[in-house]
Amino acid sequence: MYRNIWRIAVPSIVSNITVPLLGLADTAIVGHLGSPAYIGAIAVGGMVFNMVYWLFAFLRMGTGGLTAQAYGRGDKTEVLRALCRSLGVALGAGLLLIALQGVLTDVAFRLVSASPDVEVLARRYFNILIWGAPVVLAQYGLTGWFLGMQNARFPMYIAIVQNVVNIAVSLILVAGIGLKVEGVALGTLTAQYVGLSVGFALWWKRYHASASGILHLKGVWKRSALAHFLGINRDIFLRTLCLVGVTTSFTSAGTAQGELVLAANTLLMQFFVLFSYFMDGFAYAAEALGGRYVGARNVSRFRSLARLLFVTGGGLAILFAGVYALGGAAFLRLLTGETAVVETAVRYLPAIAVLPLLSFGAFLFDGLFIGATATREMLLSMTVATAAFFLVNALFPPDNAVLWVAFLTYLALRGLMQAFFFRRVMRRAF
């Protein structure tokens, strides 16, 4: 069991770590163009896409859970139908985003304040990259399907290839041909299409032989199956809206307290992001293996999986908590040379030290619940936790310490609520 967990978790962690490299590479390239407006354009444009695509994360999670269950019960036809269903929804949603690109940009730049120069460049960046929407969403579905098939290596390969292509093409277009923000956007767009092509090539090599002759397209859009798929994804979508609301509110509340607090919180959140990359890897393992055991109706293996995940996750949480407590200040000084920012951030390091201990349960339960397609319980847990976040902020005067207490309360309640629902999920799943 441990081997299976790590076999999925490690490649998933590597894939997670490569995600920010796309944005980092773009920023590094435009950082040498001679104007801070280019950096601002990439930052604003990237943030807009992150917000839009984040809402479609349900394509990966919903597809992964349903595929894992079909795989566990040996239903090869439904395994393929799950992929076709996900890709069909991804294509439709991607084309809709392209059709609405004018509305999206207008709304986004009303919400995000930017100087006129930055906004002009960010719109150029957006108007090129929006043509990758169907590809990005299809990759979400394909990645979820691979994980449901217990294969975390293929998403890792795709992520690595995509990063290499992005850096190479962007450098050629910017440094070689002389394009500026348009070159960076085209480089990223090219990498997205190459990434999906690699994904389909890997699928063809590994799975097409077993797919021949067993896929009945009529069953892909069967009303009951589609309703189940959309119902699961609706819950995940609403859950993601709550998550986006908390994240946006956290940033906004920090901004209202001044540049120093905003900068300190931005640095402190890197501790959480780093921890989340690791825990998400184990959440993916919980999703893939948990769904497989639910599909196979193997309750003993599911219980063993949950127990081992929490032993491993708890150990990692203790390790991260210790490292953050002892080395947090040194890490902050590596991130910035601004003494005032470091001094402000150090005051909130105790919150960062306990953050892994309070949050690891939410990550692991998320994976187990997705594997069991218990999305309604996930949504209810997230709703309660989100309400608690806003309640704590409303009950006390605006203060950064209160903001961090609210965030920790939100993370802890997510895990506690899911623990409360776990028995119900087990009864329904088995």
pTM of the model: 0.89
pLDDT of amino acid 392: 95
Q: How does the average pLDDT of the chain come out, rounded? A: 88
In the numeric block, the tokens 């407590």 are attached to 325
Write phi, then psi, for 114 (nearest 5 degrees): -145, 155
| Res. 35 pLDDT band, cuts 50 70 90 | low
CA distance 367 to 279: 10
Q: Which amino acid is residue 225, in one-letter code?
A: A
> Which residues, other chains included, contact 387 with Cβ-Cβ below 8 Å and sequence gap of 6+?
none
Judge contact between 382 and 413, C-beta under 8 A.
Answer: no
| 47 pLDDT above the threshold of 80 | no
* DSSP labels, 314-356: HHHHHHHHHHHHHHHHHHHHHH---HHHHHHHHTTHHHHHHHH
pLDDT of amino acid 242: 93
**Average pLDDT score over residue span 277-300:** 95
> Which residues, other chains included, contact 155 with Cβ-Cβ below 8 Å and sequence gap of 6+?
11, 12, 15, 143, 146, 147
Cα angle 242-84-89, degrees, rounded to a multiple of 5: 40
| 216 pLDDT above the threshold of 60 | no
Q: Please measure the distance between the N-terminal and C-terminal CA atoms of the chain and give it in whole angstroms.
A: 20
Comparing C-alpha atoms, which of 364, 375, 360 is closest to residue 283?
364
Q: Which two tokens stand for residue 169?
A: 């093409």
* DSSP summary character for residue 398: S
In the numeric block, the tokens 């309604």 are attached to 376
Interval 221-272: pLDDT, tens = 777 777 778 888 899 999 999 998 898 888 778 777 877 887 788 788 888 9
Q: Is 290 exposed, middle or buried (0-12, 13-18, 19+ CB in 10 A)?
A: buried
* DSSP labels, 221-269: T-HHHHHHHHHHHHHHHHHHHHHHHHHHHHHHHHHHT-HHHHHHHHHHH
CA distance 321 to 323: 6
Query: What residue spans define the domains of the chain?
Result: 1-221, 233-430
Handedness of CA 255, 259, 263, 265 (dihedral sign): negative
Instruction: Please state, in angstroms and as integers, the Cα–Cα distance from residue 242 to each residue in 144, 235, 249, following that order.
Output: 21, 11, 10
Interval 320-378: pLDDT, tens = 999 999 998 888 888 777 788 888 889 999 999 999 999 999 999 999 999 999 999 99
Interval 370-421: pLDDT, tens = 999 999 999 999 999 999 999 999 999 889 999 999 999 999 999 999 999 9
In the numeric block, the tokens 């070159």 are attached to 183
pLDDT of amino acid 261: 82
